[in-house]
Amino acid sequence: MAKVLITGASGLIGRALVTKFLSDGWEVIAQVRNNHDFASNSSLTVIEFDLEKRSGGELLNQVGEVDLVINNAANQEQLQLSNREGAIRQFIVNAIAPTEIAAVAMKLGVTTLINISSVEALSAKAGHEYYGASKAALDSLTKSLANTLAPMRSISIRLGLVGDSSLATRWPEGVTAWNAATPLARYAAPEEVAEFVALLSSDSLRYVTGSTFDFDGGKGANPGW
């Protein structure tokens, strides 16, 4: 049975990834920062591990051999530009920890590494300057690691707005603005993200590495004026 490590597994996208890979017959190792409420499953192991305070390499050494790593954990705090400590925390979780994981992954024989990035790597909203910069760093690292850690594949996905069915009710102004700027005029469901990640991890795309894919409903194609 193939085995996958999914970081940030307790969030909306993380849970969709766990569900998808379990349904596809994978053994899933789910990293969470603290308490979780996953249903018991013989193919699921949940590990509580704080990537802000401990090395990502330590996590992978604890997990052992896996076939696929999905770096999904993210710090999405809105920060003041003067918040040096917050910026450091954000870069640790969003860029440094995934790289530490990648370095050990190659040594353990992982075949594919998928980094979950964001459209804010290209242009971040106010309050997300450090978040966007950390995701831009992750995209750059994805490309560099494809060379450094070959033949392990290194891939990045720049996500647009992702939400559940209640997002439009909870954040109507954000959803309205996103839909107006996006050719497909909607946000993505987490299950759609999971399907795309599964596709990129499949053998049918085994020649793909060092690439960053936009999964944004066409937002990046909009000239903005």
At which residue do the structure tokens 């594949």 appear?
153
- Give the active site residue among 130, 131, 187, 207: 131
Whether 131 is catalytic: yes
Token digits for 9? 């597994």
The answer to whether the peptide bond before residue 223 is cis (omega within 30 degrees of 0) is: no
Is 60 strand, coil or helix? helix
Partners of 46 in the beta sheet?
Answer: 30
Quickly count helices (H) and strands (E) in the chain. 8, 7
Query: Measured between alpha carbons, how far is 211 from 8 in angstroms, rounded to an integer?
Result: 22
Q: What are the residues whose beta carbons fall under 8 Å from the beta carbon of 75, sequence distance 6 or more?
A: 52, 89, 90, 92, 93, 94, 131, 134
Q: What are the residues whose beta carbons fall under 8 Å from the beta carbon of 121, sequence distance 6 or more?
A: 132, 135, 136, 138, 139, 158
**Catalytic residue set:** 131
